[in-house]
Structure 1
Amino acid sequence: MNDSYYILVKDEQTGPYTLKEMLEQDLDVNTMVLTPGSEEWQEASYVPELFEYFEEQGIYFPTEGNLANFWIRLLAYVIDLFLLSIALSFIARDYVIELSKSFNIENPTPAQSIERFKFSLALFVLLALYSTLCESTPMRGSIGKKLCKLAVVDADGRRLSVGRALLRNFAKILSSLPLNIGFLPILWNERRQGWHDMIAKTYIIRREA
C-alpha cells in the first residue's frame, strides 16, 4: 500500500516521505504536495492531515466545519460594543450622559441630531480602529471574538495585515447600509461572509484556543 508523500522543492520532486518525515521539511501553505493514492499535486493548505501542523504555526484554514455562524459573531459584536461603551463612559462620561438625554427626545433639534450623528460616526470609527488593531495582532480578533473563541483570517488561514484589517472594518459601512443588509448573507452564505468579508476576502472561524 502506497503511504508515501512527495513535495516539490524548487520545481523538483523530492521524496518519498512518511507523514512524519514530511512534517520535518519546513512546509509552507503553498508547498505543492502529492499525497498517497493521488495523482494530482495540491497546495499543502488543502491537505487535511497537515491542518494541525499549520495550526501549531498559528495558521487556521477556513473550512466548512469551522466557519463561524451569524449568531456567535453577533454575540462577539455585542460584547465588544458593551466593553467600548464602558470605556467611553470613563473617558467622556459627562458628554455621554448629556448625549444620552438627547436620544430620549422624540423630536430633537437640528443641533441635537448633528450631535447624535457625530457620536454615532465617532463610535463606528473607534470600533473599526479597535477591531483593526486587534485583528492584525496575534489575537486575530477583538476581545469579544477572543472570548467567543473566534479568529479572523485570510483565505490562507493567516493573520490579517493592517491594511486588510483596515479595509475589512471600514467596508462595514457598506454592510451597514441600508438597514445592515450586508451582514445578512452570513446567515445563508456557504462561506459565512458579509459584504465586508467578501470585499476584504476574509473569514471568521471558530478555534479551540
Structure 2
Amino acid sequence: MNDSYYIQVKDEQTGPFTLKELFEQDLDVDTMVLAPGNEEWQEASYVPELFEYFEQQGIYLPTEGNLASFWIRFLAYILDLFFISIVLSIVAQDYVMQLSKSFYAENPTPEQAIERFKYSMALYVLLALYNTLCESTPMRGSIGKKLCRLAVVDADGRRLGVGRALLRNFFKILSSLPLNIGYLPILWNQRRQGWHDMVAKTYVIRRDA
C-alpha cells in the first residue's frame, strides 16, 4: 500500500516522505503536495492530515468542520460588550450615568437623542478599534472570542494584519445597520461569513475543532 507523500520544491518533485517525515519539511500552505491515493497535486492547505502541522505553526485553516456558528459568535460579542461597558463605567462613570438617564427617558429631548446617537457611534468605533487591535495580535480575536475559543483568520489560516483587521471591523458598523442585518448571513452562509467577513475575506473558526 502506497503511503508516501511527495512535495514540489522550486518546481522539482521531492520525496517520497512518510507523514512524520513530511512534518519535518518546511511546508507552507501553498506547498504543492501529492498525497497517497491522490492522482492530482494539491496545496498543502487542502490536505486534512496536515492541519495538525499547521496548527503547530499557529496557522488555523478554515474548514467546514471548524467554522464558528452564529450563536457562539454572538456569545463572544455579548462578552465583549460587557467588558467594554465595564471599562467605560470606570473611566467615564459620570458621563455614562448621565447618559443612561437619557436612554430611559420616556420623552427624550433633541439634545438627549443626539447624545444617544453620539454614544452609540462612539461605542461602535471603540469596538472596531478594540477588535482590530486584538485580531492583529497573536490572540487572533477579542477577549470574548478568546473565552469562547474562537479565532479570526484569513483564507490561509493566518493571523490578520492591521490593515485587514481594520477593514473588517469598520465594515462591522455597516453590518450592524440597520438592525444588524449584515450579521444574518452567518446563519445560512456555507462559509459562516457576515458582510464584513465577505469584504475582508476572513473567517471565524473554533480553535478546539
| TM-score (ref. length: structure 2) | 0.98
Counterpart for residue 4 of structure 1: 4
Counterpart for residue 196 of structure 1: 196
Counterpart for residue 133 of structure 1: 133
AA aligned to 2:173 is I
- Superposed CA deviations along residues 97-156 of structure 1, whole A, max 9, x for unmatched, are 001001111221111111111111111111110000000000000000000111101111
- Match status 1:171 vs 2:175: no
Give the whole-Å Cα distance in 1 for the aligned partners of 2:2 and 2:104.
72
When the two chains are superposed, the root-mean-square deviation of aligned CA atoms in Å is: 1.0
Give the whole-Å Cα distance in 1 for the aligned partners of 2:47 and 2:53.
11
69-78 or 173-182, larger mean C-alpha shift: 173-182
AA aligned to 1:122 is A
Counterpart for residue 115 of structure 1: 115
AA aligned to 2:104 is N
3-state SS in 2 of match to 1:108: coil
3-state SS in 1 of match to 2:117: helix
Counterpart for residue 78 of structure 1: 78
Give the whole-Å Cα distance in 2 for the aligned partners of 1:40 and 1:182.
38
105-114 or 65-74, larger mean C-alpha shift: 105-114
The runs of 5 or more residues in structure 2 that have no matched partner are none
Taking the TM superposition and a 5 Å limit, the aligned residue runs for 1:17-166 are: 17-166=17-166
AA aligned to 2:108 is P
Shift of 1:54: 0.4
3-state SS in 2 of match to 1:145: helix
Shift of 1:11: 0.6
90-99 or 174-183, larger mean C-alpha shift: 174-183
Shift of 1:16: 1.1
Shift of 1:173: 1.8
3-state SS in 2 of match to 1:85: helix
AA aligned to 1:201 is K
- Match status 1:181 vs 2:181: yes
AA aligned to 1:71 is W
The runs of 5 or more residues in structure 1 that have no matched partner are none
